[in-house]
Chain A
Amino acid sequence: MRTLVGNHGWATIAAPGNTGNVADFLVCRLIGSIFICFSAILSGCHAPLSANNSSRVEITYWRTLTGAAGEGQEELVRRFNNSQNEIHVHCEFQGSYSDLAAKLFTAAAAGAGPDVTQLGTFEILQFARAGLLVDLKPYFAGPEAINTKDWPGTISTAGEVEDGLYWLPFNVTVPVLYYNEDAFNAAGLLGPPTTWDDFYLYARKLTVRDDNGVVREAGVALWNITWPLISAIWSEGGKLTTRDYGHITLDDPVVLKVMTEFQTLVREGAALLPDEASGGHRAAFKNGRAAMILDSPAAFQEIFAQAIGFTPMVAAYPAGKNGKVYAPGGGGLVLWAKNPATNRAAAWRFLRFMLSAESLAYYSQQTGYAAFTESAQQVMTNDLKDSRFGVIHDGLRFVRGDFSINMSPSVRNAFDEAFQKIMVDLADVKTTLMEADAKAEHAIAERGI
């Protein structure tokens, strides 16, 4: 046995019978035994393997969202697996949208990944350009195509990148307005605002101040993201960017007007911008600190179950000079390109199942997300008799299939930063938007995305 000893650099051979080195030898064996025991224990404790039918194709589906929105997906996967024997889907939760994206990035670097995955809007462009997503257009020309004739507005084109289609909507949202009916009655307002001009006016009328002029209840609480404002800008005829990000117009006069209107509400105290730590805009609405919020149908159950001491209502998003033009939100489904053709074919069949009328109707009933196709709405006719669901689903026809700033990290970051400066720091709107526009154009020119 060699040991490293004292003053002579490299080792000397331990003399036989040296008790210290015999003890070392025994201790080393003991430690080695512990390692082996660990190995044995750990080898026996891995994830259970599912029963495998050799002719069956096993595919993986990565999902996000929890609660009803997560359980609804698990149930749909169970239904798919029970409906046939050729394909078995493993549904795996991967955290929030951003966690899922981080995991997909890592898997992509390793040449791995799921067969189907839920995906938010932020990563579509990056993943598609990196060749990680399957172009779904050929599937629409094939024998197992999905019928998109009853899909609303131009939503089927939302996932288009250049000449391909890489993303299909699943848990879709359109913007809606929630309002406090009691506060409206107290302010003498008979119904929700139908235009953006009315919205700004109502926000001021609904703001309640005490004798010292301090705001006790604001007209509106704003979400700390830019998505709700995109629909306002589009409805008023404004443009933020072209689909290919070749022409960015964050300083468009309409963008300037809309941002100025909202900033003025904030300056006057008619609009709150609560931080997430205090529960955000939804908490401000639910506890009566604000009379309106601009949000998505995904908040539907939460709002109606948790509103404290007042009657919440949901209304269509206001219209502008160009009528109603709504920005889609939520998540969709994509196929991962790096997997074998048999898996991709199986994944497409699963994707068709998820987008069937029955699946979309079931998911909508469980979660509040819109059943966005007419055939799905026919399945859930009884639910749509509830005027609140009716309002949400009626808005679908105004969806523009364009994720606008949200697909490009450069443009999204520049606009988000401008939003914070304008609403939180109350910076000059025109200067801030011009700077944001220049920043986005520079980043696009440099990185192309």
Chain B
Amino acid sequence: MSGRIFKTLPRTNDRGTILGGALIYGVLLVYVALLMLPFFWMIITSLKPITEVVSYPPNWWPREFSWRNYVEAWQAAPFGRFAFNSLVTGIAATFLQVTLALFMAYAFAVLRFPMKNALLIAVLATLMIPDEVKLVPNYLLLRKLGWVNTYWALIVPPLANAFPVFVFHQQFRVLPRDLIDAGRMDGAGHVRILLQIVTPISRAVVAAVALTSFLGRWNDYLWPLIVTNERAMRTLPIGLAYLKDTQEGGNQWNLLMAGAVFVMMPVVILYGFTQRQFVEGLTKGALKG
């Protein structure tokens, strides 16, 4: 993004312009430093012995690196199993959520059928309902289905999410109608048009929604805690709770931060691979017109 701003500056030796560019970079660097500070502190704390964590004034760099914190944090709970559960439920829920949302958004944006607008408003209205309000009804339903403490409980309820439908709908409604008509004339059905024409040209938005959806599942704490009881079904955020409250009100902050690092790392790596699509997807609407 900063590169884009720099490119818009005229290439000149004018002193004021150079100073202006330097100022913009300076402000951006300070902003980035502020954003990175919590992550830096998390990593530094994860490498300190506990006595250094509580020392005052705080040390910005560990006097002694305690790599063992990572081993202890990993062994405090079955994090391997938690990571597997988070991956399975995250991937499955993301795939299904994006698939369902693509079909719904396409139908609302392209097809004509009775009460289309009313149905769309009804779907979008669910965005106004806080998750906490849905907690008990969803739990009751899952209990009746016998899904408590199963992967179904972690995957299926989040699928009813209107946000991806809203984002895809906004994307599809501005696509040139001619594209779809051309597909129809070539003999393609709606499913084929959606999967082979509309989705590929919307891949940046799809990637952004998929990443957001995956993050939502990866970081979710309360719902997995409510619908799972046994260790074997727990996910990574609950694993972090195994490192909290070692006594009444007491925490081993260094172990907790080590746990936070290895919970966060897969998401950071994933973001690294999808960064371009993610940013493009988020800014697509802003760049149009």
Interface bits A283-302 vs B (CB < 8 Å: 1, else 0) = 11011110000001011011
CA gap between A313 and B66 in the complex, in Å: 28
Residue contact B56 to A4, C-beta cutoff 8 Å: no
Nearest Cβ distance between residue A73 and chain B, in whole angstroms?
Answer: 13
Residue contact B136 to A106, C-beta cutoff 8 Å: yes
Residue contact B111 to A329, C-beta cutoff 8 Å: no
Q: Name the interface residues of B54-72: CB closer than 8 Å to any CB of A.
A: 54-56
Known: A67-B246, A306-B54. A95 touches B113 (CB 8 A): no
Residue contact B229 to A60, C-beta cutoff 8 Å: yes
Using Cβ atoms and an 8 Å threshold, which residues of chain A touch B245?
A: 64-66, 69, 96-97
Using Cβ atoms and an 8 Å threshold, which residues of chain A touch B54?
A: 279, 282-283, 286-287, 306, 308
Contacting residue for A109 out of B136, B151, B191, B252, CB 8 A: B136
Residue contact B230 to A47, C-beta cutoff 8 Å: yes
Contacting residue for A9 out of B113, B152, B184, B230, CB 8 A: B113
Residue contact B250 to A302, C-beta cutoff 8 Å: yes
CA gap between A306 and B55 in the complex, in Å: 10
Known: A4-B107, A23-B192. A69 touches B246 (CB 8 A): yes
Q: Name the interface residues of B165-206: CB closer than 8 Å to any CB of A.
A: 183-184, 186-192, 195
Q: Name the interface residues of A39-54: CB closer than 8 Å to any CB of B.
A: 41-42, 45-48
A75 at the interface (CB under 8 A from B): no
Stretch at the interface among B231-239, B267-275, B280-288: B231-239
Known: A45-B151, A109-B140. A24 touches B247 (CB 8 A): no
Residue contact A38 to B140, C-beta cutoff 8 Å: no
Using Cβ atoms and an 8 Å threshold, which residues of chain A touch B135?
A: 106
Known: A4-B113, A66-B245, A298-B247. A28 touches B151 (CB 8 A): no
Residue contact A95 to B140, C-beta cutoff 8 Å: no
CA gap between A9 and B115 in the complex, in Å: 11
A94 at the interface (CB under 8 A from B): yes
CA gap between A280 and B114 in the complex, in Å: 60
A445 at the interface (CB under 8 A from B): no
CA gap between A394 and B233 in the complex, in Å: 43
**Interchain Cβ contacts within 8 Å, total number:** 171
CA gap between A112 and B146 in the complex, in Å: 12
Considering the complex, give the chain A residue whose CB is closest to the CB of B255: A67
Count contacts on A: residues with CB < 8 A to the other chain: 72
Using Cβ atoms and an 8 Å threshold, which residues of chain A touch B229?
A: 47, 60, 90, 92, 94
Contacting residue for A68 out of B88, B244, B246, CB 8 A: B246
Q: Name the interface residues of B208-230: CB closer than 8 Å to any CB of A.
A: 222, 225-226, 228-230
Stretch at the interface among A14-22, A181-189, A376-384, A420-428: A14-22
Residue contact B189 to A3, C-beta cutoff 8 Å: yes
CA gap between A302 and B88 in the complex, in Å: 37
Residue contact B247 to A7, C-beta cutoff 8 Å: no
B163 at the interface (CB under 8 A from A): no
The 30 listed contacts between A and B (C-beta, < 8 Å) are A3-B189, A9-B113, A10-B114, A20-B186, A20-B192, A23-B189, A28-B191, A35-B96, A41-B88, A42-B88, A47-B150, A47-B228, A66-B244, A67-B246, A68-B247, A69-B245, A69-B247, A95-B241, A106-B226, A110-B136, A110-B139, A112-B143, A223-B249, A279-B54, A279-B253, A283-B54, A287-B55, A287-B56, A289-B56, A299-B248
Give me the 4 closest cross-chain CB pairs, A-B, nearest first.
Answer: A67-B246, A24-B189, A24-B191, A287-B56
